[in-house]
Amino acid sequence: MARGAQFLERQTYRRRRMIDGARLLPVIGAIAFVMPILWRTDTTPGASTAHGGLYLFAIWFGLILAAFALSRRLRNVAGDGRVED
Amino acid sequence: MPWGEGMPEKGKQVLLIEDEPHIVEAIRFILTRDGWGVEAHADGADAIEVIQRLAPDVLILDVMLPGRSGYEILQDLRADAATARLPVLMLTARGQDRDRDLAQRYGVSRFMTKPFSNLDVLTSVRELSGG
Amino acid sequence: MVPFKILVLVCLAYVIFLFLVAFVVENRARQGRARWLRAPIVYTLSLSIYCTAWTFYGAVGYAARSGLEFLTIYLGPTLVFVGWWWVLRKLVRIGKAQRVTSIADLISSRYGKSNLLGVIVTLLAVAGTTPYIALQLQSISLSFAVFAAETRPGWALPGRDATALWVAGGLVIFTILFGTRNLDANEQHHGIVTAIAVEAVVKLVALLAVGIFVVWVLADGPRGVFDLIEATDVAEWRLQPGRWAGLTFLSAAAILCLPRMFQVMVVENADERHLATASWAFPLYLALMSLFVVPIAVVGLLTMPEGSNPDLFVLTLPLSAGRGDLAMLAFLGGFSSATSMVIVAAIALATMVSNHIVVPLWLRMARVAGEVAPAAGYAGDVRRLVLRARRASIAGVLALGYAYFHFTGGSSALAAIGLIAFVGVAQALPALIGGIFWRGASRNGAAVGLCLGFGIWIYALFLPSFGPDGVIPADVMINGPFGIGWLRPQALFGSEGMDPLLHALFWSLLLNSGAFCLVSIFSFPTPLERLQGAQFVNVFDRAGGTRGWAHGVAEAEDLLVMAQRILGGDAAQGFFHAEAAAQGKAGFLPDTTPEFIEALERRLSASVGAATAHAMVGQIVGGSMISVEDLMAVANETAQIMEYSSRLEAKSEELIRTARQLREANEKLTKLSVQKDAFLSQISHELRTPMTSIRAFSEILRDGADLPLADRHKYAGIIQEEAIRLTRLLDDLLDLSVLENGQVTLHSTSANLHDLIDSALRSAGATAAGRDFAILRDPASEHVGLTTDTDRLTQVFINLVSNARKYCDAAHPELRIRVTERGADVEVDFIDNGSGIGKENQALIFEKFARLTDQTRAGGAGLGLAICREVMSKLGGTIAYLPGQGGAAFRVRLPRRRILPRGGSVAPGAHGAGQGPVAAQG
């Protein structure tokens, strides 16, 4: 909105970085979930199911925790909409 | 009509266009007793045709008529050469100045407000037919 | 061991419990006492219909066959929800702003309210969902069979088909009962959503319980399971990179496009903030659902006999360990998964089918028959049609699912059908995502892309799924149609050796989005498309509404007639009344400003979908009303909207409202002044006419001493008659002035409304010109006890009835009297079938001296309705003209019990005062 304002209030600034985080999170998640594809090369056989499963669930719960933290801060922003960056 | 045989030498016709039956009855009574032939018609819509058909000597015209207003009928009469000079006595129950002005502008011969005196009606009709 | 009999009983009890939950919640919601039901956690749990019986049972089987690959089905949705800020937030906002009823409605609405797209997406959804419903029926009958196999012989077991049939029938009843109560999609299905949330808890608890049992009882805790996994042949993770990435993408696409997910995610969403909670809570739910899948699969593979179906390990493991109770719980979990999916899918599909296929067809047929003309009035109730269509569609969808199950049932790999269906519905993805992020996306592009993707899906995946020589001959599969090699269903364009699912997914989505983009770039959208596109893409920085209907020339009354047929009489009248009030007007007819028509269209689209609502409004407003100037306004893109200071806008709105009020008051004053002049003439005429006769005949009597006796009597009689007429007129005038000055005494008595109407009809019938007049009444509704001044009320009724008799100009005049109780009030409507009262006169008829028709009828000073209005206000009620009823219609409303205030002097005019616009010239 206000075009001239280059420096924002601290709170507004934080909120915008939270939104950036929310946008970044699925990208990080996607990369992490696709990562196991790289593990398999011609020389090494497939990784073990048990370890792979542990890895995936670790990423999974990590994402859930991050989303939880972000959602607590973004709840109210979502309600009234009108957020620009 | 017990008074019909009154003064036969005149034998002139009056056409009365009025939708209130009681008023028609009163005027018919007054004029017939004076020796006039009286025809009455209650509807405004086809009044012009009736007037042209009967060609009366004097026309008595009410303003508030069903179908068509007296003013419109008057305008049409004046516009037609055959009836342009027909004497018209206009009766109205809306006795405001505006109504009188309007009637005069449209070329009325004489204008009377209701309620009228019987004698006035009679005199007016006589004068209109004579002049 | 659980006897089959007990299983059936528990199952029935569970179903009855769900019915009760839905029923109680629905009732509480109606009383407005269910705020907690719309908590974010209920929303999250309702999303769990993503986990169907396929994931409940099938995931274990999938893990047993392909190891960790089953996780992709959950990873995609996890990414979508974690990334809610990108897509879901926008979808939900658009869904709310545009009152979207389904995914087909969203796509149709985005691309210029095109019904063609609505139909395509609906067909796509039906094709993608039917096998899925079949899958659920199959899983229920399979799980029944597991228990049946364990039971002692001698029990008459229902066959596989019979089980599925019973279940399908029960689901139809439940869905129709709770899914089609209200038409407006924005009045959400509280009962169903809550029942589904309960089922979500049951299936999670069931799967966790089985998992915990397997890990800690059958194996030696997590460590033990870890070692077991290493020991089996799923130990090595044979990851196929293409499938891994492709399936993750596919499941992410599916959760956005599945009709049932769209239903709970967007349509049933009560508050955008719930999405914030769901962004972590739903991935958590999914993670918990899949936590024990691999352990169960591994332990099952190791302990169960060779050849047992891994899809049913969740049931068979506890059974074989002798834990019937646990198996029962697992069974209920699976049952819950299947039923909740089927219920929501059926509702979502039924909404689409009725809004995009049945109603448009009906509209077209009705237009051909010339029946949609606004004058058709109350009779053709679209509302009932839509509800009936929706109920029939629910039954139809389940019948289709059952038929599919019946004819193809028994295929053992559950997961296969599920993934095939995913690819089908994912064809809506390009149109959906393109539509909400790209303003250039056009209807033609979406249509071509959808058709192409749909076609490839059918050809390359759906038809081959019926097996070799199933639908497509084996020869075609191997050599291609007519021997054209590059058209082989599973090796399109020479892409041999690809996984069939991946092959179809790749080609269908590639060609779909390619065609979508290319055609969009090279085609030119219609103005309405561009407007809708701007609204969808810029949903978050929308300052005002659209200007979809620029030059509304519609008659508000016609619009009201139409709205009544869709929303029902009360709701439509309420909406119009509120809109008129917002414009600062009284009555039921607001100005047909573009804003009003836009709001009306949006209200209607919540019931019948955007395309249909637009078509129906368009019929009345006339054509597409967008001009180039309107487009220019939108085309200034981003900058101009933000410039608006909202305060300024509010102020100018206020000014417009005030100006409108002033204009209206001024118009009324001018008209009243003219009316007052006219009245003075009129009253002069009314008084002078009888006086003329009186004077003329009294002069005749005075002067005519020779008059015969009979004539004298006659003339005296005329004088008396005219004197009475004068008196009556004066009475009316006095009555009105007394009423207006509040010096009236009212006498409270109690009476039955029915009797009052009877007596009014009798009185009015006695005074009116005798012509045939049909009176239509509903005596049953009329028996309402009233405490009020019944004489005055009857006076009002007499007036309305004699007005109708006098002025109704229909060939076969009818008067309908309708009584409705509204809380402490009662409404009495008098509706005739004449030509009614023109809009320009509706505001004036209750004023003194107004007359209904000016030219032809020279009689009547028009005091009747003015007296009615005064009487009604004294009785604490109202009388109003009710437009849009196909004739003149008056609504009298008054409190049933009223302690009347005592006024000063006694009212005159007991003798038939105020009966109609003064029956003068009788």
**CATH code, domain with C175:** 1.20.1730.10
Structure tokens at C40: 């974010």
Q: Please count the structural domains in chain C.
A: 4
In a domain? residue C217: yes
Cβ contacts from A onto C, under 8 A: 122
Mean pLDDT, range B116-126, rounded to an integer: 91
**How distant, in Å, are the alpha carbons of C190, C719, C850 from that of C35?**
10, 76, 51
Mutation site for C-interface testing, chosen from A63, A68, A74 by largest number of C Cβ within 10 Å: A63
What is the rounded average pLDDT of the residues C103-118? 89
Tell me the C-alpha distance between C288 and C92, whole Å: 26
Task: Indicate if the alpha-carbon torsion angle C637, C642, C644, C647 is positive or negative.
Answer: positive
Cβ–Cβ of A26/C284 closer than 8 Å? no
What's chain C's average pLDDT? 79
- pLDDT for C365 equals 79
Asked whether the beta carbons of B61 and B44 are under 8 A apart, the reply is no
The Cα C618–Cα C624 span in angstroms is 7
Query: Rounded to a whole number, what is the distance in Å from the CA of B74 to chain C's nearest CA?
Result: 17
Per CB-CB distance under 8 Å, the chain A contacts of C230 are 48, 50
The confidence score (pLDDT) of residue C258 equals 93
Local structure of residue C238 (DSSP, 8 states): -
Question: What would you measure as the largest C-alpha separation in chain C, in angstroms?
Answer: 141
Read off the DSSP letter of residue C158.
P
Q: In terms of domains, do C674 and C806 share one? A: no
C693 and B23 in contact by Cβ < 8 A? yes
Cα angle C646, C647, C649; round to 5: 65
Q: Which residues span the domain enclosing C596?
A: 545-632
Q: Are residues C732 and C774 in the same domain?
A: no
In the prediction, which pLDDT does C852 show? Answer: 42
Is there a single domain that holds both residue C620 and residue C716? no
Nearest to C283 among A27, A56, A67 (CB): A67
Q: Are residues C734 and C748 in the same domain?
A: no
Are A82 and C235 inside 8 Å of each other by CB?
no
For chain C, percent of residues with pLDDT exceeding 70 = 82
Q: Are residues C660 and C587 in the same domain?
A: no
Q: How high is the pLDDT of residue C306?
A: 77
Taking residues C162-185, what's their average pLDDT? 75
Per residue in B72-99, pLDDT (tens digit) is 899 999 988 888 889 999 988 876 777 8
C278: confidence class by pLDDT, cuts 50, 70, 90: very high
pLDDT(C297) > 80: yes
Indicate the residue among C603, C632, C661 that finishes a domain: C632
Considering only CB atoms, C689 lies closest to which of B25, B93, B116, namely: B93
Q: Do C689 and B95 touch (CB under 8 A)?
A: no
Residue type, C15: V
* Contact yes or no for C484/C225 (Cβ under 8 A): no
How many other C-beta atoms lie within 10 A of the C-beta of residue A38? 8
Query: What's the CA gap between A26 and C414, in Å, rounded?
Result: 30
- The pairing of beta strand C889-895 with beta strand C825-832: antiparallel
User: Using a CB-CB distance cutoff of 8 angstroms, which residues of chain C are in contact with residue B94?
Assistant: 681-682, 684-685, 688
**For the domain that residue C732 is a member of, what is the CATH number?**
1.10.287.130
Surface of B (88-107) touching C: CB under 8 A: 93-96, 99
Q: Which of C72, C93, C279, C643 to mutate to test the interface with A (most CBs of A within 10 A)?
A: C279
Give the CA-trace dihedral at B61, B62, B63, B67, to 10 degrees.
-90
Residue B49 touches partner C, C-beta closer than 8 Å: no
Dihedral of CA atoms C342, C348, C354, C355 in degrees, nearest 10, equals: -170
Yes or no, beta carbons of B67 and C856 under 8 Å apart: yes
Largest CA distance in chain B: 40
* B120: number of Cβ within 10 Å: 12
Helix intervals (H) in C704-752:
709-741
Best probe of the B interface among C674, C677, C684, C719, by most B CBs < 10 A, is C684
- Helical pair C382-408 and C594-608, crossing angle rounded to 10 deg: 40
Greatest CA span in chain A, whole angstroms? 58
What is residue C911's predicted lDDT score, i.e. its pLDDT? 40
Enumerate residues 6+ apart whose C-beta is below 8 A from B52.
B82, B83
Of the residues C593, C608, C632, which one is the last residue of a structural domain? Answer: C632
Residues C624 and C662 grouped into a single domain: no
Query: Which one-letter DSSP state was computed for residue C157?
Result: P
Count of residues making up chain A: 85
Using CB atoms, which residue from C689, C718, C722 is nearest to B114? Answer: C689
Average pLDDT over residues C642-648: 53
Average pLDDT (A30-50) is 73
Q: What angle do CA C351, C449, C457 make, to 5 degrees?
A: 75
What average pLDDT score do residues A19-42 get? 84
Q: How far apart are CA C681 and CA B69, in angstroms?
A: 14
User: Cβ C241–A23 below 8 Å, yes or no?
Assistant: no
Residues in B touching C849 (Cβ below 8 Å): none
Q: Best residue in A54, A64, A65, A82 to probe C by mutation, most C CBs within 10 Å?
A: A64
- In this predicted structure, the answer to whether residue C673 has a pLDDT above a threshold of 90 is no
Which stretch of C124-138, C364-378, C588-602 has the lowest confidence by average pLDDT?
C364-378
Q: Which residues contact C321 (CB under 8 A, 6 or more apart)?
A: C213, C217, C218
Band of residue A42 on the pLDDT scale cut at 50, 70, 90: low
Nearest to C259 by CA among C199, C143, C375, C344: C344
pLDDT at C367: 65
C465 within a domain of the structure (yes/no): no
Provide ipTM, 2 decimals.
Answer: 0.89
Choose between A39 and C319: higher pLDDT: C319
Cβ of residue B21 closer than 8 Å to a chain C Cβ: no
Cβ–Cβ gap C696/B26 under 8 Å: yes
- Domain-embedded: residue C468: no
Judge: A61–C80 Cβ closer than 8 Å, yes or no: no
Instruction: Name the pLDDT band for C259 (thresholds 50, 70, 90).
Output: very high
- Residue C547 confidence (pLDDT): 43
Q: Specify the amino acid at residue A27.
A: V
Task: Specify whether the CB–CB gap between C383 and C565 falls below 8 A.
Answer: yes
Do C112 and C173 lie in a common domain?
yes
| Residue percentage of chain C with pLDDT more than 90 | 18
Apex C441 CA angle, C435 and C447, nearest 5: 90
d(CA A40, CA C414): 29
Contacts of A25 in chain C (CB under 8 A): 82-83
Q: Is residue C125 part of a domain?
A: yes
Contact yes or no for C909/C749 (Cβ under 8 A):
no
Task: Report phi then psi at B92, rounded to 5.
Answer: -145, 150
Q: Which of C684, C694, C721 is facing B93, going by the closest CB pair? A: C684
**pLDDT tens-place string over residues C530-584:** 878 887 888 776 544 444 444 444 567 777 777 776 777 777 888 888 888 887 7
Contact A29 C272 (CB under 8 A): no
Torsion sign (Cα): C572, C573, C576, C582: negative
Contact C856 B25 (CB under 8 A): no
Burial C125-136 (b: 16+ CB within 10 A, else e): bbbbbbbbbbbb
Give the C-alpha separation, C779 to C753, whole Å. Answer: 10
Residues C257 and C243 in one domain: yes
Judge residue C659's burial from the number of C-beta atoms within 10 Å of its C-beta, 0-12 exposed, 13-18 middle, 19 or more buried: exposed
CB C780 within 8 A of CB C894: no
Give the gap in angstroms from C-alpha B60 to the nearest C-alpha of chain C. 15
Structural domain includes residue C734: yes
Smallest CA–CA distance from B67 into chain C, residue: C856
CA-closest candidate to residue C163, choices C181, C139, C185: C139
Q: Which residues of B touch C694 (CB under 8 A)?
A: 115
- Of C477-481, C506-510, C803-807, give the lowest mean pLDDT range: C477-481
B114:C692 CB<8 A: yes
Question: C684 vs B22: CB contact, 8 Å cut-off?
Answer: no
Distance CA C202, CA A69 (A): 28
Yes or no, beta carbons of A56 and C540 under 8 Å apart: no
At CB < 8 Å, which residues of chain C contact B? 680-682, 684-685, 688-689, 691-697, 699-700, 703, 708, 718, 721-722, 856-858, 921
* Chain A residues near any Cβ of chain C (below 8 Å): 1, 19, 22-23, 25-27, 29-30, 33-34, 36-37, 39-40, 45-50, 52-53, 56-57, 60-61, 63-68, 70-72, 74-76, 78-79, 81-84
Are A53 and C294 a contacting pair at CB < 8 A?
yes
Across the strands, what pairs with B90?
B61, B111
Residues C21 and C200 sit within 8 Å (Cβ to Cβ): no
* CB pair distance less than 8 Å for C273 and A46: no
- Per-residue model confidence as pLDDT tens digits over C377-393: 433 567 777 888 888 98
Q: Are residues C861 and C724 in the same domain?
A: no
Nearest by CB: C693 against B22, B66, B117: B22
Q: What pLDDT score was predicted for residue C379? A: 39
Is residue C766 in some structural domain? Answer: yes
- Contact C404/C138 with Cβ under 8 angstroms? no
pLDDT band, very low/low/confident/very high, at C47 (cuts 50, 70, 90): very high
Query: Where is C892: in which H helix or E strand?
Result: strand C889-895
Q: What is the mean pLDDT of residues C574-596?
A: 79
Q: Please state the domain extents for chain B.
A: 13-130
Identify the band that residue C836 occupies on the pLDDT scale cut at 50, 70 and 90.
confident
Q: Is the peptide bond preceding residue B115 cis, with omega within 30 degrees of 0?
A: yes
Contacts of C682 in chain B (CB under 8 A): 94
- CB–CB contact C856 B66 (8 Å): yes
Ranking C156-160, C600-604, C757-761 by mean pLDDT, the lowest is: C156-160
Are B116 and C695 inside 8 Å of each other by CB? yes
* Greater model confidence, C229 or C841: C229
Q: Could you count the other beta carbons within 10 Å of the beta carbon of residue B93?
A: 24
pLDDT digits (tens, 9 = 90+) for C844-892: 777 765 544 443 333 344 677 888 888 888 888 889 888 888 788 899 9
Confidence band, pLDDT 50/70/90 cuts, at residue C256: very high
Residue C354 belongs to some domain of the structure: yes
Query: Who has greater pLDDT, B127 or C909?
Result: B127
Phi then psi for residue B61, to 5 deg, are -125, 130
Provide, as residue numbers in chain C, all residues whose Cβ is less than 8 Å from the Cβ of A75.
273, 276-277
Q: Which residues contact C552 (CB under 8 A, 6 or more apart)?
A: C592, C593, C594, C596, C597, C621, C625
Touching status, chains A and B (3+ beta-carbon pairs under 8 Å): no
Tokens of B110: 């004489």
Find the radius of gyration of the CA atoms of chain B: 14
Question: Sign (positive/negative) of CA torsion C336, C342, C348, C351?
Answer: negative
pLDDT tier at C457 (50, 70, 90 boundaries)? very high
Say whether residue B84 is in contact with chain C using an 8 A CB cutoff: no
pLDDT for position B90? 92
Exposed / middle / buried, residue C654 (Cβ in 10 Å: 0-12, 13-18, 19+): exposed
Residue type, B4: G
Count of B-C CB contacts under 8 Å? 69
Q: Is residue C525 part of a domain?
A: no
State the nearest Cα–Cα gap between A44 and chain C, in angstroms. 12
Do the Cβ atoms of C552 and C560 come closer than 8 Å? no
**Token reading at C628:** 């180039």
- Third-level CATH fold of B13-130: Rossmann fold (3.40.50)
Looking at the structure, do residues C163 and C243 belong to the same domain, yes or no?
yes
* B neighbour chains, 3+ CB pairs within 8 Å: C
Do both C608 and C732 map to the same domain?
no
